Chain A
Amino acid sequence: MNCREIDELLESYIRDELDDTTASVVADHLEGCARCQAAYEDTRMLVGELIDLGEAFQPTEAWRAPAIAQHVARKRPVAGRGWVAVAAAFAVLSIVSATLLTIPALARQVPVLPVARAIAALERDAAALTKQVEELETRLAEIGGEELLLVETEPALDEVENRAAQEHAMEFVRAMYTGDIGALQALATDELAARIAARPDDYLRSGGVVFAQINNISEMEGAYWVFIRMSDTVEFTDSQFQLNISLKRSGDGFLVSAVEMDA
């Protein structure tokens, strides 16, 4: 074996993963070759340092619980009373239901997991918001052919327009699941249509979809927003989430201008 071939085997030799025959060929070569002996030492040292580096980052626990609370608070700037209430309620609901409470009993059973403490902190935060949440009226409504829990916030649009905007958003979501790029673009502003063309995969999702909850259209900084809570058949924690859909007026109707995905 020449030096270049030995070079390729050094790492496996150091990790003791070569068969005996090959290992002894390498050992013999190292004995008689100063260049490869030096390369071996270099690599052995680097490998050792890399293995140590894997222990060099100690995840801190203290930040985790407040971090989730902060996450709720800094989700997005808030404007308007109705928006504050619904944004806070949805943020808490989505984090509690999707991230932590997916298997809540389980998390509590594992005392060392920071997530158990995070749940406790979140529940305190959630209690503070419960009143706000309770003040929101909810009722079942049929929207876009689906029976959904409708969260009634301070409406930004009259009833007919509100309904039209919600249905437009739901049509957009359906197109995400049918993989119909053309339909997505037709429902979107030119700007979003261009982003969809550039990165179609970002806007497509597979599996069956179940709609759970929708809010009245809220207004923020000239844009209309609707939150849709839903789940699909994608596995585990990724399967329950919320789409935040921003809409703009266009002629008699609406166009989707942005889509965010929250846990």
Chain B
Amino acid sequence: MDDMMLVQSAQKGNERAFAALVRRNERRLYSTAYSILGSSWDASDACQDAFLEAWAKIGTLRDPSSFRPWMARIVVNKCRAAHRKTRRLVVVEEVPEREAHEFIGPESAIDLADAVRSLDEDHRMVIALRYFSDLKVEDIAGILGVPAGTVKSRINRALRRLKESLGAESTEVQQ
């Protein structure tokens, strides 16, 4: 069953269909939130909140094929709310020792994860939405409220920076 059928089924109130959607999309959405927030615990909270809100509002999703961008938008909004909350907290809580995830990728991906983490927020955000959430440029533009051209140039700049920090051979054009 593809996402679209699961969405349609969830819209009719089928909880198991929604649960399957959560399972399918959990990792990508979590990676997106983690990349934006930089804290695994905050990312996990944001995803939990986002899934609950999605279940509450899934009936309002008009085009079932746009579930992924719709869901990503909810996650991004939760991340923004988490940012606001963190800023307001005067007392800073200690950082927990454990992360809220297990890294199950290949060891070779750790350097790449570090390189993504070292990008500034704008570039981290487009990388997260483009690859972790696997969205189209137009969808990202809609979520971020910037023109598609801006998203494209941020993606290209982010990719260049990642290549640089991974020490890949420079492919800069000599003019």
Contact = CB atoms under 8 A, between A and B. Distances in A.
Given A202-B88, A258-B90, A259-B90, A53 B109 contact: yes
B31 interface: yes
Interface string A87-131: 000000000000100110011011111110000000000000000
Interface of B: 15, 18-19, 22-23, 26-28, 30-32, 34, 40-41, 43-44, 47-49, 51-53, 55-56, 81, 85, 87-91, 93-94, 96, 98, 100-106, 109, 112-113, 116, 127, 130-134, 136-137, 152-153, 155-156, 159, 162-163, 166, 168-169, 171, 173, 175
Contacts of B98: 63
A43 B159 contact: yes
A11 B131 contact: no
A67 B30 CA distance: 17
A63 B100 contact: yes
B112 A58 contact: no
B131 A56 contact: no
Q: Which are the 8 A-B pairs with shortest beta-carbon distances?
A: A56-B105, A54-B132, A50-B131, A39-B171, A112-B19, A57-B101, A261-B88, A59-B30
29 contacts: A7-B171, A8-B153, A8-B156, A11-B156, A38-B171, A42-B163, A47-B131, A50-B112, A51-B134, A52-B105, A54-B27, A55-B31, A57-B105, A58-B27, A58-B101, A59-B26, A59-B27, A60-B101, A102-B52, A103-B52, A113-B51, A115-B51, A202-B87, A202-B88, A237-B52, A260-B88, A260-B90, A261-B85, A261-B88
Contacts of B156: 7-8, 11
B173 A3 contact: yes
Contacts of A111: 15, 19
Nearest to B136: A17
Contacts of A38: 169, 171
Contacts of B91: 76, 258, 260
Contacts, number: 164
B175 A107 contact: no
A35 B175 CA distance: 13
Contacts of A55: 27-28, 31, 104-105
